[in-house]
A and B are shown apart, each in its own frame.
Chain A
Amino acid sequence: MNEAEPVKVIRLTGELEIGRKNEIRSTLRAPADGTPVLLDLAGVTYADSIALTELLRFCAEAQQVGQPVALVIQTPQFARLIQYAGLATVFKVFAEPAEALAYLTESPRQ
């Protein structure tokens, strides 16, 4: 990572579920300048489809402006939720922050 190409880190922890819908939505705001985003979800202990919907919205908005997004997910329940929802190919998911950071800083930009 260098100053010309920083990565914005957005971190969510705990249970990402319907009761936190508004908080999740307000936290997932993409930078307007196209900065790559690392969504650090390593501290998430549970997630539901409401959270998935917000993540999809965020990634779709980022994609529109060519902004790469990488997710760090370490909780098996969360990883399986994405599989069960049929979204395995939609998100760029990594088990370790270093892997996500490498993807964001090394992948070519449009």
Chain B
Amino acid sequence: MSRQPSVLRLRCPAQSRFVASLRHALVSFLRAHDFKGQQLDDVTTAAGEALANVVEHAYTAAASQVDAYIGLRANVDAKGTLALEVYDGGAFVERRPTRGRGFGLRIIRAIAGRLTIDTSNGTRLRMIFERKR
């Protein structure tokens, strides 16, 4: 039985104390759409890394902190395809994993088979997942 398309949209200040709440909301949304097991863990892990990257790197000290935000958008279509986006208004910084830093994107790339990063206006990281049965 197919479900109706459904969207989760969240936005909050780009501060570390909000990341867990965003992730928990995503987990609830995904569970409601029958994501489970390792795939639920993996999608949650990738989202958590993307969110943490925004907090750690998107907004530099030189940038205005007035509207430093994190956005999360998750859309599950009727076929069970999840489009997950994490976005911000800051600057994209890709770090090579060195001296124990910069693992976030490596982890995301290991999980997300389909990943795009749009840096034309802030940064929008988009991942696509097909729900597993």
Q: Which residues of B contact A19 (CB under 8 A)?
A: 16-20
Does B111 belong to the interface (CB within 8 Å)? yes
Q: Which residues of B contact A56 (CB under 8 A)?
A: 100
Q: What is the total of A-B residue contacts with beta carbons within 8 Å?
A: 66
Total interface residues on A, CB under 8 Å, equals 23
Chain A 1-44 near chain B by CB (<8 Å), digits 1 or 0: 00000000000000101110100000000000000000000000
Total interface residues on B, CB under 8 Å, equals 26
Chain A 39-58 near chain B by CB (<8 Å), digits 1 or 0: 00000001011101100110
Alpha-carbon distance A53/B95, docked complex (angstroms): 14
Does B104 belong to the interface (CB within 8 Å)? yes
Does B77 belong to the interface (CB within 8 Å)? no
CB distance from A41 to the nearest CB of B (A): 16
Choice from B56, B97, B100, B107 contacting A18 with Cβ under 8 Å: B56
A85 close to B103 (CB less than 8 A): yes
Which residues B77-109 have CB closer than 8 A to chain A?
A: 97, 100-101, 103-104, 106-107
A86 close to B97 (CB less than 8 A): yes
Q: Which residues of A contact B104 (CB under 8 A)?
A: 49
Does A93 belong to the interface (CB within 8 Å)? no
CB distance from B12 to the nearest CB of A (A): 12
Chain B 44-76 near chain A by CB (<8 Å), digits 1 or 0: 110011011001100000000000000000000
A77 close to B20 (CB less than 8 A): no
Does B34 belong to the interface (CB within 8 Å)? no
B106 close to A46 (CB less than 8 A): no
Interface pairs (19), CB distance under 8 Å: A15-B20, A17-B19, A19-B17, A21-B16, A48-B48, A48-B52, A49-B52, A50-B52, A52-B100, A53-B101, A56-B100, A57-B100, A80-B38, A80-B42, A81-B45, A84-B106, A84-B107, A85-B110, A86-B97
A interface residues (Cβ-Cβ under 8 A, vs B):
15, 17-19, 21, 46, 48-50, 52-53, 56-57, 60, 76-77, 80-81, 83-87
B interface residues (Cβ-Cβ under 8 A, vs A):
16-20, 23, 38, 41-42, 44-45, 48-49, 51-52, 55-56, 97, 100-101, 103-104, 106-107, 110-111
